Amino acid sequence: MRARDGRLPGWGADAGLVVLTFVPALLSQPYVDTSGPAWVSLMAYETVGVVVLLLRRRMPATAFVVGFGALLAALVGSAGEGAKLSPLVFLPPAVLLYNLGHHGVSRRRTMSAVLGVSVLSAAGLWLNRMTTDSGDFRGGLDVLAALAPMPLAWVMGFAARTRQKLLAAAERQAADARRAQALEATQATQRERTRIAGEMHDVVAHSLTLLVVHAETLRARGGELPAWARAQIDGLAAAGRQSSGELRDLLRMLRDPADAVPLQPVPDLGELDALLAGHRAAGGTVELTMDVASQSVPGPVQSAVYRVVQEALVNARRHAPGAPVQVTVYGKGDGELRCEIVNGRGVRRAAAGAGIGLGLVSMEERISALGGELTAGPTGDGGFRVAATMPWERADA
């Protein structure tokens, strides 16, 4: 037997209620009357009572009227034969009356059930007077004493139903409050995202656009510049255009997360050569060693490797200008992809206050999101090393 929400299943509760309601009368009957008519009346009554008790949820009013009628028939029939039933036979009508109040049938049906029981009581009293001569077997104060507490059972059932309604209403209010709170949090988040997107557009996008315009102006006058300067300007313009496209994607995602499909292609391993060429154009030295085919690496892993290499090259230019950089990407035998970027000691002094200190944090968050691990730290010769390891399942396996 399994419990649901801490309660017994319906058939288990019904079985327990049948035992608690009908067995006491069977156990106490030998102490009241052991005659054959008494046992016949009791068994017939309890047979009908078990059926109506099991049907009490579907037909509360009908079950109560039928159960009470069966009780009157048993009492009147046994009294006519000179037999008595145990006082505990009044337990089933009490349960049925509690059920009538608990399941909340309409007022009309409740009044009809009460009227029907009243008519049956009057008819049973009349039959009892007509079929029994002895006063010992006529309904009297003992029957009245057993019936007097019956309305209390209905009141208890009605109170239980009212409590359940109050609890259900409280649960609905709590659920509504949680939904309203979640909606407000979502709206507040979206307002903050929109505000950040506006700030980034006003500050970063404007400055980046101005940078690209100046770079294109210098390119237009490239004949007046030395060769090394033209290469630097070309790299600056290309980086500015790429950053502008990625910034537009980011601003669109901030303003509307549902519109997060990038306008620019997501960078992958196939674009590492262009990324390294940009680093060389900026005056850096970099070498790439890669022993995996880009088409066999899942897209998210490719994008993460590209971003890690990109950030590591930027950090090398900032903190170790002119230092040689070695980039290595290879697959490990234990189902992992490893990317290492090592730069040597800078040949020029780094600019004061270079960077804002969030590059490594961003790389670590990106790698952790893929279930990988990032390590970064200085090397023994004064350089710096970044190593990222990510789970990798070959796409062509």
Read off the pLDDT of each residue in 112-125 and give the average, rounded to a whole number: 76
Give the pairing type, strands 336-343 and 373-378.
unpaired
Each residue's pLDDT tens digit, 280-332: 877 788 999 998 887 888 888 888 898 899 888 888 888 888 889 999 998 87
Which of 75, 156, 66, 151 has its CA nearest to residue 117? Answer: 66
pLDDT of 354 > 70? The answer is: no
Tell me how long the chain is.
397
Give the pairing type, strands 324-332 and 285-290.
parallel
Residue with tokens 């997360």: 257
Each residue's pLDDT tens digit, 57-85: 888 888 888 888 888 888 877 777 778 88
Report which of residues 172 and 210 the model is more confident about.
172
Give the C-alpha separation, 156 to 133, whole Å. Answer: 38
Give the C-alpha separation, 325 to 210, whole Å. Answer: 30
Name residues whose C-beta falls within 8 Å of residue 389's C-beta, 6 or more positions apart in sequence: 332, 336, 337, 338, 339, 367, 372, 373, 374
Each residue's pLDDT tens digit, 173-210: 999 999 999 988 888 887 887 777 777 766 676 677 77
Each residue's pLDDT tens digit, 236-262: 777 777 777 677 777 777 777 665 555
Distance of CA 159 to the CA centre of its chain: 34
Q: What's at 198, amino acid-wise?
A: G
